[in-house]
């Protein structure tokens, strides 16, 4: 027996959640050729048909582009810190891709080894992730090369499998998932399954072996020749999490703010002295691949990549993890 739900009931539920004060985010078509995860105003905004990988990732809703850490008031030579302790509003992310949901356990490690980042943790605790298993993939998808698949439940509180004719099987993986769907579904004999994944394109272990032994290698120069260092790969990646801490000045109300950053920017590691350990784009491209396939895995036992393909899909010059890893693996 399975639990199923129709698309119209699902949209109705989303509308209920919104009306009930929850923030609901999901894929929406914002321009004819652009799909983004964004906060939905109604259940009808939710894009469920077809396959177009959103150009951003769901990390936007747990680790926002800019997050105020605290405000401060300057009175003469005294300082008053102002913290925001109001509770995080409940949030549902619906129709997340499996490769987005799988990034959340990855981010959990980063924000909780030793020091706990409660900004992230509070949002994470207030968020329920409802994943939609993939019914198609495109030429940039490579989840199967990094140990995932189009029906992966990793990081999901519930997962939907399309059954056709506007019906979905609902599988709840956590209490948060059950809290959303219990009593809203119908019993059925039908069970869904995700499509077979894209063909495996590279061996991640071989990539790790290469990057840990080829720190100085012409490969990086050749590969980075066309890179313009825009950081789009990192910003649209579900797992990239590097950030900066900056002061927003008086015009912004005086606050210290955590903002997204990227290892692709030349200023990322520049020392005050002018020395930069990563002085050229090749060294920065190398860092990105090293971090994903060697540095993070050494610390946390898994790859810092879910194979979503956004780096390649959004890159203005056609680079991305898939092409680099494939080239490393197959020469």
Chain centroid to CA 239: how far?
A: 5
Out of 66, 72, 90, 221, the only residue in the binding site for another protein (CB under 8 A) is 72
Q: How far is the CB of 109 from another protein (least distance, A)?
A: 10
Contact status: 218 vs another protein (CB under 8 A): no
263: helix, strand or coil: coil
The smaller minimum CB distance to another protein, of residues 1 and 272, is found at 272
- The 19-58 site mask, x for binding another protein (CB under 8 A), equals ----------------------------------------
Task: Pick from 48, 69, 173, 230 the residue near another protein by CB under 8 A.
Answer: 69
**183, 273, 318, 331: which one binds another protein (CB under 8 A):** 273
Residues 282-321, interacting with another protein (CB under 8 A) = 287, 290-291, 294-295, 298-299
Q: Which residue lies nearer to another protein by CB, 110 or 280?
A: 110
Residue 78, classified by CB atoms within 10 Å of its CB into exposed (0-12), middle (13-18) or buried (19+), is exposed
Per-residue tokens: 260: 């997204």
Q: Could you give the string, one character per residue 233-272, with x where binding to another protein holds by CB under 8 A and - elsewhere?
A: --------xxxxxxx-xx---x-x-x--x-x----xxxxx
Q: Exposed, middle or buried, 286 (CB in 10 Å: 0-12/13-18/19+)? A: buried
Residue whose token pair is 């590097």: 242
Nearer to another protein, 83 or 199 (CB): 83
184 part of the interface to another protein, by CB under 8 A: no
**Sequence-separated (6 or more) residues with CB below 8 Å from residue 289:** 207, 211, 321, 324, 325, 328
- Candidates 42, 70, 105, 186; binder of another protein (CB under 8 A) is 70
Restricted to residues 91-110, the positions that interact with another protein (CB under 8 A) are 110
DSSP 147-207: T--TT--TT-SEEEEEEETTEEEEEE-SHHHHHHHTTTSEEES----PPPPPPP---HHHH
Q: How far apart are CA 281 and CA 265, in angstroms?
A: 8
| Residue closer to another protein, measured from CB, 195 or 270 | 270
Count of CB atoms within 10 A of residue 38's CB? 16
Give dist(CA 182, CA 5) in Å, integer: 11
Output 276 or 326, the one with its CB closest to another protein. 276
Cα–Cα distance, 292 to 114 (Å, whole number): 20
DSSP helix/strand/coil, 169: strand
- Interface ranges with another protein (CB under 8 A): 69-70, 72, 74, 77-79, 81, 83, 85, 110-111, 113-119, 122, 215, 241-247, 249-250, 254, 256, 258, 261, 263, 268-273, 275, 277-278, 287, 290-291, 294-295, 298-299
């Amino acid at each position: 027996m399975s639990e199923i739900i129709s698309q119209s009931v699902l949209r109705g539920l989303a509308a209920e959640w919104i009306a009930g004060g929850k923030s609901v985010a999901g894929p929406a078509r914002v321009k004819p050729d652009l799909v983004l995860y964004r906060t939905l105003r109604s259940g009808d905004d939710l894009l469920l048909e077809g396959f177009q990988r959103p150009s951003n990732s769901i990390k936007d809703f747990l680790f926002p582009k800019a997050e105020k850490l605290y405000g401060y008031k300057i009175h003469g030579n005294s300082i008053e810190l102002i913290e925001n302790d109001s509770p995080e509003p409940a949030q549902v992310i619906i129709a997340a891709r499996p490769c987005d949901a799988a990034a959340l356990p990855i981010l959990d490690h980063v924000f909780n080894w030793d020091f706990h980042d409660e900004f992230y943790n509070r949002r994470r605790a207030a968020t329920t992730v409802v994943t939609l298993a993939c019914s198609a993939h495109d030429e940039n998808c490579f989840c199967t090369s990094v140990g995932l698949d189009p029906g992966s439940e990793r990081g999901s509180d519930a997962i939907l499998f399309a059954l056709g004719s506007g019906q979905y099987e609902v599988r709840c993986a956590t209490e948060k998932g059950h809290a959303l769907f219990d009593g809203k579904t119908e019993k059925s004999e039908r069970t869904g399954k995700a499509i077979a994944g894209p063909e495996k394109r590279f061996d991640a272990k071989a990539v790790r072996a290469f990057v840990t032994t080829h720190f100085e290698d012409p490969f990086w120069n050749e590969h980075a020749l066309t890179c313009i260092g825009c950081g789009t790969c990192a910003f649209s990646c579900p797992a990239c999490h590097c950030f900066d801490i900056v002061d927003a000045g008086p015009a912004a109300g005086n606050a210290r703010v955590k903002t997204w950053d990227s290892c692709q920017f030349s200023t990322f590691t520049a020392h005050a002295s002018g020395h930069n350990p990563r002085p050229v784009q090749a060294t920065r491209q190398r860092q990105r691949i090293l971090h994903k396939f060697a540095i993070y895995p050494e610390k946390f036992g898994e790859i810092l990549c879910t194979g979503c393909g956004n780096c390649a899909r959004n890159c203005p010059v056609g680079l991305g993890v898939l092409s680099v890893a494939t080239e490393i693996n197959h020469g």
